[in-house]
Structure 1
């Protein structure tokens, strides 16, 4: 029964009941060509169209019975207590990498001139130096950095809510992101899960915390079934982080018996595990042909006799062999772009393998990946196709843009 639960995820494909999204905001309009590499973007989306596309994505979910919650709204609602708000503002300023004490003080006063929701939106959008009225350039560092327009960089990756935190069972990994610019995103999810009225009385366990020193990102975390979690060793997630998550899960009241660590190429097109394969049905996955194998996968299980409490077993095999073994059923891999090297590379770049299942055999996909979509349809997968011209410029698909909070068990 899920009526009294605000967090419950035991699969990738169980009927989706509640999800956390972030509607793209003015942070996209604070992107400039010089900032793209620093802020992990390859292009600058057109905000108006990106918002229209995102609204269609949210409407598709609502039309299929999914509760849609928004990151900025929940973050603002978490600041109902003055002490919580003060801690939140101080933490945001401390992590904005501001060296000038005078600037920190001026920024704090500026942020307090807004309502909670306006303040959160401003933090997400990025804060320009010319916006803060009491900011005076008096220190050497202020004068040297005078040409840089921002006090706080924008957070354009926020609409990919999958990465900062991921629900596993009735707990959460509150992630330590690979880059400083994305790690600040997790401040918002931290305050939501610790203080929002919807979650604060649940005593949510954190399988990972943002103060860890090794990186973990939600796009690398896939729940294959109630006993098996897959995590990618990737461009964004460290092997050491996977061990930390495994120990927490195995020593807590969960049903998870194993974690499969998939070693994938550390490059932009293979950024996270969910950019190269996602689960679309009990026995079907959409995949990028480059991940089929042979692969190196590490099975991690609990071992009370070992020094660190874990047993690690190295395996080599194709993706199909690995999934067939651990899901105990014959697996069908549906190749992005139909397996054609040109089509697969193009549609993989636009997240053809990054689908969001809203029920077994029912997924949300980007319209632009028409070859992969036609193939999914032929395999009997029900498609909800959403527009994607601008959203896809951020290098993330429907799964990346969503943090499921509640799914029915399967």
Structure 2
């Protein structure tokens, strides 16, 4: 039987992945609210879709099954009772103004009467105020109200599929994301796993649920091997969430025995661990050098269930050799020895590689120095155009949620 979920490394041959093609939600940003949506600029919709299609096309040509988030949700919401239940959860998490002039009830009615296809589009695009009511300004305070044009905000970040949930082994984390604007995204995967025909009959372990009060995001979590995770302690992933995840996993009968916890500088430049560290082969990693100067910790399975032993490590290299059983570790520095090029290409997600199989990766074409270094180190590189995709602050790894990879052996 084909496994429902199976991720035991970053580099095992990729079999199934979930993507979300950027849609009109990216055009529902204006210069005044880009920071609210965690963007630095507004992508050009036609071109970002063209670039994303090339990304999906490379994956398919490599034999990867590409699932579309919009299609998965549409299939779930063709059952009206499930859609109506989701509407309530979605509006609650969207902080919809339920108590003002019956807006909440109007939103609920409006969304519930939409077809499954239109509803999913609206969930991504948001609900503008003008869609429900013609604006009437009667009192002075009406003119002073928030000029934000949406009752339910759009979700332009949703094409960064990596963050809302993480597959670890045959289980998953449903993540409490740091930013309020993105918290709803993991709700999609809660419903897909519970109600979609492909998943609902499987008993999928939830290693950490989205109601856990401390944040965790998928860009900070790498599955290095059957035995080892690497997780960034970052602006968006808390140390408490990492330790709770470790306790939950160690308590179960899993193969995970070690978690490398790496401090990621709290900066917009370094949003997640995978913006400065990704795995491209069994002993080879593409990195930005700041990762070599930050503190590294090792969380190990204790002798009693749910016990976590924590120790500070000498370096990332030493920790990787220990947990992966490697004699040598090869670090490929993005941008090479040129500090200006290294900083520029890191900003453009040179280290955010997506492995299709051991030693075969997808990268952005704009990072030509790093791509050349990868090739010189024996890595096969498939480049995708990136003038618009990169505006959101994420690369090929960020845009993908692998569900199934083939197992590989390190020892």
TM-score by length of 2: 0.95
- Is this contact kept in 1: 2:7–2:404, CA < 8 A? yes
Q: Which residue of 2 aligns with 1:28?
A: 26
For residue 339 of structure 1, report the CA deviation from its aligned partner. Answer: 3.1
Q: Which residue of 1 aligns with 2:289?
A: 289
Q: Which residue of 1 aligns with 2:202?
A: 202
For residue 106 of structure 1, report the CA deviation from its aligned partner. Answer: 0.9
Q: Which residue of 2 aligns with 1:89?
A: 87
Corresponding residue SS for 1:316: coil
Corresponding residue SS for 1:313: strand
Q: 1:393 to 1:312 in 2, by over 3 A?
A: same
For residue 301 of structure 1, report the CA deviation from its aligned partner. Answer: 1.7
Distance 1:194 1:108 in 2: 22
In the alignment, structure 1 residue 17 sits paired with structure 2 residue 15: yes
- Is this contact kept in 1: 2:258–2:323, CA < 8 A? no
Distance 1:41 1:110 in 2: 29
Cα deviations by residue, 1:68-89 (Å, 9 ceiling, x for unpaired): 0011111121124333211100
Distance 2:398 2:196 in 1: 23
Q: Which residue of 2 aligns with 1:323?
A: 320
Q: Which has the larger displacement, 261-270 or 167-176?
A: 261-270
- Unpaired runs of at least 5, structure 1: none
Q: Which residue of 2 aligns with 1:298?
A: 297
Q: 1:128 to 1:170 in 2, by over 3 A?
A: same
Cα deviations by residue, 1:243-287 (Å, 9 ceiling, x for unpaired): 111111111121111111111211111110000010000111000
- Is this contact kept in 2: 1:8–1:405, CA < 8 A? yes
Cα deviations by residue, 1:306-330 (Å, 9 ceiling, x for unpaired): 9x6221112232x323222222211
For residue 305 of structure 1, report the CA deviation from its aligned partner. Answer: 5.2
Q: Which residue of 2 aligns with 1:72?
A: 70
For residue 140 of structure 1, report the CA deviation from its aligned partner. Answer: 10
Distance 1:138 1:200 in 2: 50
For residue 112 of structure 1, report the CA deviation from its aligned partner. Answer: 2.4
- Is this contact kept in 2: 1:19–1:67, CA < 8 A? yes
For residue 134 of structure 1, report the CA deviation from its aligned partner. Answer: 8.0
Q: Which has the larger displacement, 5-14 or 145-154?
A: 145-154
Corresponding residue SS for 1:285: strand
Q: Which residue of 2 aligns with 1:105?
A: 105
- Is this contact kept in 2: 1:100–1:139, CA < 8 A? no
Q: 1:135 to 1:199 in 2, by over 3 A?
A: farther
- Is this contact kept in 2: 1:227–1:255, CA < 8 A? yes
Q: Which residue of 2 aligns with 1:367?
A: 365
Distance 1:351 1:84 in 2: 38
In the alignment, structure 1 residue 38 sits paired with structure 2 residue 36: yes
The Cα RMSD (Å) is 1.9
Moved over 6 A (4+): 134-143
- Unpaired runs of at least 5, structure 2: none
Distance 1:181 1:337 in 2: 32
- Is this contact kept in 1: 2:164–2:185, CA < 8 A? yes
- Is this contact kept in 2: 1:161–1:400, CA < 8 A? yes
Distance 2:244 2:329 in 1: 29
Distance 2:390 2:249 in 1: 33
For residue 141 of structure 1, report the CA deviation from its aligned partner. Answer: 8.9
Q: 1:324 to 1:138 in 2, by over 3 A?
A: farther
Distance 2:68 2:236 in 1: 25
For residue 405 of structure 1, report the CA deviation from its aligned partner. Answer: 0.4
For residue 373 of structure 1, report the CA deviation from its aligned partner. Answer: 0.3
Query: Aligned runs of 1:157-306 on 2, under 5 Å?
Result: 157-293=157-293, 295-304=294-303
Q: Which has the larger displacement, 258-267 or 386-395?
A: 258-267
Aligned residues: 405
Distance 2:247 2:336 in 1: 39
